[in-house]
Structure 1
Amino acid sequence: ILTVDDDSGDGRASRLEWSCPSSGTYFVMVRHAQATRGTGCYALSIRAVQADDHGDDHLTATPVSPDGTGVSGYIEVPGDVDFFLFSAEANWSYLIRTARLTAEMDTVLVLYDLDGRTVLAEDDNSGGEGASRIEWSAPRSGTYFVAVRHASPEGTGGYELVIERTGYADDHGNDPPSATAVPTDGTLITGRIEVPGDLDYFSFPAKEGGEYTITTGELSPEMDTVLTLYGPDGRTVLAEDDNSGGGRASRIEWTCPASGRYFLAVRHARADGTGSYKLAISAVLRLREVGSFKPPGYALDIWVEGKFAYLVVGFFGLLVLDISDPAAPIQVGSYSTRDYARAVTVSGGYAYRADRGGGLVILDISDPMHPEEVAAFDTPGSAQDLFLSGGYAYVADSQGGLQIIDVSNPRSPRGVGSWATRGYAEGVYVSGRYAYLATGDVGLEIVDISDPTEPQGVGELDLPGEAHAVWVHGDYAYIAGGYRGLQVVDVSDPAGPELIGSLNTRGEAYGLFLAGSYLYLADYTAGLLVLSLADPAAPRPAAEFDTPGSAVAVFVSGDHAYVADREEGLRIIRLM
């Protein structure tokens, strides 16, 4: 007797499901459940079906080795699913595919997480001709599951499943050609030694004579880094360090012998070690004054375009300086003011000047030696600052709030919109569909300018100090807040700006300019302050230079910073 059943069929009927152990003739006996007195009629049916070769769920899954060995399978009946399990190691990559399909077969592969239920990946035909293919990296070590089914609910057919470990999910290249390029501003770069023997390569630009500090930090408990610095050939070792960074962290301080791109490798101190770390490369920024120009009045703003600097000098209007030799700037042109020149922006062969009581003045500077006024627009307030965007000039007009002027034809400007600010508008910056205004003792006001003819206030934030200037970078607005230093505001939601940080400065924060990952701040009596934005939410001092006057504005071009130093004119500072 191989098996017996009474009532597994419908009602009082019987049913046997049985897998044949070997070919041959077998016998079935039918009797009444009441053996001594029962009688009755019945119909007997015997149907042969192919036995299920692999389990239908993760609990009955067939183990498979991820070594590339194929495992045969068959979808015996419509709706059949074959489950498999395999062991995977964290951070390694795996190729899961079907092959050798029978003519009627079209596979679908589904990869499940450790729980056997959460789908991690699914594929139908990436393997070509009905076959499936999944390339995947294991997020953590453990047993994962794969299910194979037919793409058609009615389909059946045979296949071969192959699971192969192909390598590890490397976050950074293992040699100089595949090195990750990183900045030298102190930005934290996350890395991980995923498997024993892994190397992470990085590349960075360095200038001759530049001083650089290279560090690892925020190490995971099992991590112990070793830093190796290579020359531009990627082979010559210039420096190496294990634990100078304190604990298991590394630190290299290095002076660049010649300008070029250098390479850096991070590895674990132990041959069998793994773990995570953060890498930072910081150039030691040096500031040195190389030139200056002393005009007759107060230098209040500066713009650099090519080999010319446009210097705003209050009652004396606009001066044009040839700065081909930053050590010896020469005045080559000028244009007087209608009232009191306060700020300038240059674009498309024109200089746009905020002229306080004279409003907006537009000069043709196609010949920088002979600037010529081509138009003016008298604003209702006192024009303090301006920003050009999309054919419009956005003017911070003090008591006149925000004035929007169409300058698509610079020779015929026309006012199209305005917004009354709560405070006196002193500075303006436009980013996307919003104008950000520094409004004196009120703080920051944000205006939606998606329709310049109908600007709408959307958000504001009272700030300490006196907001003189604003610069927006990503989700952050940086406010020069006078004696209260720099204010950092999260403007990811323009309707709800939020103060998230501040930095007290030695002077009074007046002017701002952002270049690369540095924020340059004109700090009045304290001169020029350079801040690293490696963490944009938390600027940190990188360098400073005390100018002889009162720094109120700064413009950065190339490797020079041009500072409008009020009573001491223009100061030209080399960034080294």
Structure 2
Amino acid sequence: NEILLDTPQNHNIHVPGDHDWIFFMATAGATYVIETSQLGGEMDTIIYLYDEDGEELAQNDDGGEESLASRITWDVNSTGILYVMIRTYWDDGAGPDMQYSISVSEGTPYEADAHEPDDTMDQASEIEIGSRQSHNLHVTGDHDWISFQVVIGTDYVIETSNLGDRIDTIVSLYDAAGHFVTSDDDGGDEELASRLTWTPQEDGVVYVLVRDLGDDEAGPGTEFGVSVREEATVLLVADEYEPDDTMAEAGEIGMGEAQTHTIHTEGDHDWLSFEAVQGTTYLIETSNLGQEVDTVVFLYDDHGEELAQDDDGADEPRASRITWTAEETGTVHILVHDYKDNRAQPGMQYDISVRELEAGGDETRVHDYSGNWFESPLP
């Protein structure tokens, strides 16, 4: 049966092994969401997507919002007919509680990560030893490939981390000729993350494929990081506020809040933002610096105009402090980076905080956000 966009159809499994087929006209460049819903008490759907030649494009079991429902998100490359087959997971039941609804809608594309296209070995993005890349599954069945140079006899660790709540990674290693070498599913430290430790027998390029175990997830919650390092090296871990490397990626910091950040890559810049109120004076400072970091802090308005900066103005050695009064209400942005801005190593963590100041006669007082003001050592 043909199904129209945004027009759900109600089906049921009336005999064991019943398979329901629908089709719709797809337009090149569009993204479509095919999903089941309103499942009967005994129903567990699985759906398959096929092109006009009968080639399977994607499948999904339990990716829908509703328990046991299914969802496929698909970006269409060429205009034509697409077919969908729906069946019960066990494919052997039938009866009054085996009904479901199926719908097709045009969705908003989930933004692909910066390394796309990397869907084949030939498109693999190169990763530097000792670094991490951030990826996501932007369409159902998305496969992400990376490559790196290896040296004979060196032990390498390939692992995934920072997994979203809808992904279970599996990592597979291939040699330069495309021959499978080894794989891992859940060997990482993090739940459902993967880790391979491998020693090459010759110099050359190797390839890594990272995908979802079920190969049927896409969209928010499918983010993951993948890293490659020599086993003897220490991989610096990004803090929880990454990515925050540009003004556009600035994370919000609340009044009285202290956030812990790290310089995890050479040239790492950490951006934050807060809402300033006209006439209010703010104290922005770094503290609890690791032994290897020397912070520099800059303050910008929402147009990117520099308002203030400081290197070593805080009481703590190598820490920074800005005291600034807002001339107008609006968003302001903070940039923090290491003074040398060309290194990353253990001991490069720091805290950053923003607080309001209140003029109090001959002294300056800082709000502690528990209803009190206390005297500040500021002049």
Greater relative contact order (CA < 8 Å, ≥ 6 in sequence)? 2
TM over 0.5: no
TM-score, normalised to structure 2, is 0.40
Say which one has the larger Rg: 1
TM-score, normalised to structure 1, is 0.27
